[in-house]
Structure 1
Amino acid sequence: MVVRCAVLFGLLGLFQATLGPLIPLLRDREDLAPATAGLLVTGFFSGSLVSTAVGGALNERWARGPLYVVSAVLVVAGLGALALPAGWPVPLLAVSVAGLGFGGLVLLVNTVMAAKGITHVNLVNGIYGLGAAAGPALIGLTHGGLLFAVLAVGVLVSLPLTVPAAEPVIDRERLRPNALLFLFCAFLFCYAGIETGLSSWEATHLRAHGYGADTAAALTSLFWLGLAGGRLLAPAVTRDWAPPRIITAALLACGAALSVIAFGISAPVGFLLLGAFAGPIFPATLAWIARTLPNPRRVNAAVLTVAMLGNATVPTAIGYGLQATSPLALPLFVLAPLAGCLGLAAAMRVRARQRQDV
């Protein structure tokens, strides 16, 4: 079951990573404005947000039954529709349908893997990053079509036959909102905006630096490769570090790496570094949540829902900002949610200490 979940996550990561490189390709093919083509990301993560929220509200039996089956069907159906040679807005509708299934599967797999331990969470999310690293290169070679058809078949084959219960007892408890939960939600909202904003507009940013469309799409793999490496290697490098220290150090390193993508010759290396530095942030945040808040299944559903909201809205806001200014301004627009993450991480650290002292 763990192997199937890891393979499934790798394919889901590959799919998500095709959305950013697909934007400039659709712009050229359909003669779309940048922000209009960028609605692909908004549609995908809006669908994910809905299914994640619904999945968090269901009890364990319903989550392992109808939610799992419906999510799988929606992902396969969306990928199949995206493989069709249809014009706009069919691709937007297809990724929105796939997003509805994506959110449910991500919630279920992360919840089950978290119950098995943080090592399993790092493993499946690291494989997700490896799959994502292959996505941009493949979309650059195939321009979609056959790739999405193969992905639909791959997802169908790799689906675990069943999803076992993760937390049958505490899952029945009601989630009680508190200030620390709010801070975690706000933090992952901003972090999701950083990760998705960079991956969605990386190809557009590289094209503005003078790289060709296919080259820019292929180079987008560097961000995801760095992300996978960061998640897989972080436990060994930061073995004795507490999650707050990992998160703060990673955010500061991301801030430094943003300056590297401002120059055309160093931009690809900068995106690789950004992925590597951002990689440990999400798993470290989940580990921090597990240490400080009760009822992890409900909490994970809440923070993942807000993270999906960040995935859906922040990249769109960045897209309109780039359209109004220049694609080369990407580092400046990403700096805003990065600064928000740093401020929220400091507030979370203070609030967590206050809870421990009570």
Structure 2
Amino acid sequence: MRTQPTLFNRAAIIGCMVVMTTIGLLLSTYGLAIPSFKAQFGISDAVAGGGLAMQSAGAVVGVLAAPFALKPFGNRMTMMVSIVLLGGGGLALAFAFSWPMVLISATIAGLGLGGVDMLITQLLIIGAGVRGPALVNVAHGFFGVGTVISPGILAVIGTERYWIIFAAVGVANAFAFFTMRGLAPRPTPVDAPSAEDTKSPIASRSRWYVGAAVVFGFIVLYVSHFGVQSGIGTWEPTFLADLDFSASAAAWATSGYWFAMVIGRFGAAALTRFISIPTLVVVSCLGMAGSLVWAMTHAPSAVWAFMVCGLFIGPIFPNGLTWLARSGHAHGHRFSYVVAASMVGQAFAPWLIGVVIEHQGSEVMPLTLLLVAVGAVVASIGLAIGLRRRASGASSE
């Protein structure tokens, strides 16, 4: 029986959790900083949302570039460079003195964010032994911890001091950089054989379309899921402000949304012992969409609707990736293609919602996100049905 390699020592795993926390800090701080950006640089809602789009575009490039760097440089060096970009971009955001500098800094941070997010997730799946799937849930739970910490702190000290959180991202990544000495350089994820490598050439060619359909399904799932996740995280403060919430109350409410997502992710680790991962993902997508219908009431109860939505959003990403890995289509560069494509939703949703808010008002935000969430529902149900039939067919053969 072939055993999985153990690529991490304890310090490196701790470093991964720190890095994932800083990703949460970075993403959740941007939405709260939008009012300060608008006041400081004289920009509109749509332009402010474009800053997060630049960061997410950088993340897409980072995800796609990381696998190509793995082969010549190995796990450790690729991870360290990504951490430097993430931390350096965070520090630059903290002290940016012009809007173009904000955009450049956000892009640099995004490059590192994409690299570490993809590397940590995939390396834990293939390089942490039997603990891998559980550690993926934990790592993305720590991402959620970061998303809770930032709004909570800024609700106390004031959102105009957003630069403190960005600076903390730089300092924390400096610590994580040195822990990566405990990450083995090889084997890398791109060295892992694909499921089709064990099949005959004729069988592989005849079933190529199945793999393409599965990958496409996960791309749709993640584009939609990230669109909703980042859309709420970025624009909930603006939406609540138009419902006469104070800036502090809106920040606390946004913190509650991210905290609910944390609960969803840590809770999912226990739930997978009782229900299948495909069922968990499908139910989470349905709950996400249903919560957005509730948020369309525009009443103060919309705060609770967004919190429930965060609870359902939590399990989708980490458990969807485990589902993808078990499907046999996550090896080599395919994993990075899915993760990169998923960030399209994260890149364009905040910008799109900003444009809609500018022309139609913030009250249309829940409906816009619901339309995005429908894509995740359809994709998850389609994947569950398709992969189940494929598994049944394989069993029959």
Both proteins in one fold, TM over 0.5: yes
1:57 corresponds in structure 2 to 68
Q: CA deviation at 1:268?
A: 2.0
Residue identity in the other structure for 2:145: L
- Rounded to whole Å, the distance in 1 between the matches of 2:375 and 2:96 is 41
The answer on 1:133 being equivalent to 2:148 is yes
What is residue 201 of structure 2 aligned with on the other side? none
Matched residue, 1:33: 44
Q: Shift in Å at residue 52 of structure 1? A: 0.3
Q: Counterpart of 2:273?
A: 239
Query: Secondary structure of 1:86's partner?
Result: coil
- Residue from 302, 305, 310 that aligns with 1:267: 302
Query: Larger C-alpha radius of gyration, 1 or 2?
Result: 2
* Separation in structure 1 between the aligned mates of residue 385 and residue 237 of structure 2, nearest angstrom: 38
Separation of aligned partners in 2, 1:99 and 1:220: 22
Q: Distance in 1 between matches of 2:357 and 2:133?
A: 37
Separation in structure 2 between the aligned mates of residue 149 and residue 193 of structure 1, nearest angstrom: 26
* 3-state SS of 1:340 partner: helix
Alignment check: 8 A CA contact 1:22 1:139 kept: no
272, 278, 287: which one aligns with 2:322: 287
| 1:106-145 correspondence runs (5 A) | 106-115=117-126, 116=128, 117-140=132-155, 141-142=157-158, 143-145=161-163
Structure 2 vs 1, CA of residues 295 and 226 (structure 1 numbering), >3 Å: closer, same or farther?
closer
Match of 1:98 in 2: 109
1:161 matched residue in structure 2: 180
Q: 1:41, 1:315 within 8 Å by CA — same for their partners in 2?
A: yes
Alignment-derived partner of residue 205 in structure 2: none
Partner of 2:264: 230
Q: Superposition pairs for residues 71-220 of structure 1, below 5 Å?
A: 71-84=82-95, 86-115=97-126, 116=128, 117-140=132-155, 141-142=157-158, 143-159=161-177, 160-162=179-181, 163-165=183-185, 167-168=187-188, 171=191, 173=193, 178-220=212-254
Classify 1:161/1:168 alpha carbon distance in 2 versus 1 (closer, same or farther; 3 Å).
Answer: closer
Deviations 1:179-213 (CA, angstroms, capped at 9, x unpaired):
11111112111111111111111111111111122
* Unpaired runs of at least 5, structure 1: none
- What SS does the aligned partner of 1:296 have? coil
Contact 1:260/1:269 (<8 A) preserved: no
Residues 154 and 57 of structure 1: CA distance in aligned 2, closer, same or farther (over 3 Å) = same
Relative to structure 1, is the Cα distance of residues 84 and 129 closer, same or farther in structure 2, using a 3 angstrom cutoff? Answer: same
Instruction: Call closer, same or farther: CA 1:169–1:6 in 2, change over 3 Å.
Output: closer
Compared CA separation, residues 229 and 297, structure 1 to 2 (3 A)? farther
What are the superposed Cα offsets for residues 47-103 of structure 1, whole Å, 9 maximum, x if unpaired? 000010111334445242543232222222211211215132222221111111111
Q: Which moved more, 1:241-250 or 1:131-140?
A: 131-140
Question: Does the 8 Å CA contact 2:53/2:346 hold for their aligned counterparts?
Answer: yes
Of 149-158 and 139-148, the range deviating more from structure 2: 139-148
Residue number in structure 2 paired with 1:296 = 331
Match of 1:146, as an amino acid?
I
In 1, Cα distance between equivalents of 2:213 and 2:386: 8
Aligned residues: 358
Question: RMSD value over aligned CA atoms?
Answer: 2.2
1:320-349 Cα distance to aligned partner (Å, 9 max, x none): 122221111111000112111111112212
Question: 2:75–2:184: 8 Å Cα contact kept in structure 1?
Answer: yes
The range that moved more, 171-180 or 189-198, is 171-180
Which deviations, in whole Å up to 9, do the C-alpha atoms of 1:103-123 show, x marking residues without a partner?
Answer: 111111111211222100001
Question: 2: CA distance between counterparts of 1:121 and 1:297?
Answer: 18
C-alpha distance in 2 between matches for 1:96 and 1:168: 26
CA distance in 2, matches of 1:43, 1:50: 11
Identity %: 26
Kindly tell me: are residues 182 and 3 of structure 1, through their superposed partners in 2, closer, same or farther at Cα, counting changes over 3 Å? same
3-state DSSP class of the match of 2:180? coil
Unaligned runs of 5+ in 2: 1-11, 197-207
Matched, 1:350 2:350: no
Amino acid aligned to 2:61: V
Q: Structure 1 residues 136, 164: closer, same or farther in 2, change over 3 A?
A: same
CA apart distance, 1:256: 2.3
Seen in structure 2, the aligned counterparts of structure 1 residues 167 and 270 have a Cα distance that, compared at 3 Å, is: farther
Q: Distance in 2 between matches of 1:63 and 1:218?
A: 41
1:6 equivalent to 2:12? Answer no
Question: Does the residue aligned with 1:126 lie in a helix, a strand or coil?
Answer: helix
* Aligned counterpart for 2:53 among listed residues 32, 42, 50: 42
Quote how far apart the aligned CAs of 1:295 are: 4.7
Q: Which residue of 1 aligns with 2:200?
A: none
Aligned-partner Cα distance in 1 for 2:229–2:345: 10
Distance 1:313 1:85, change over 3 A: closer
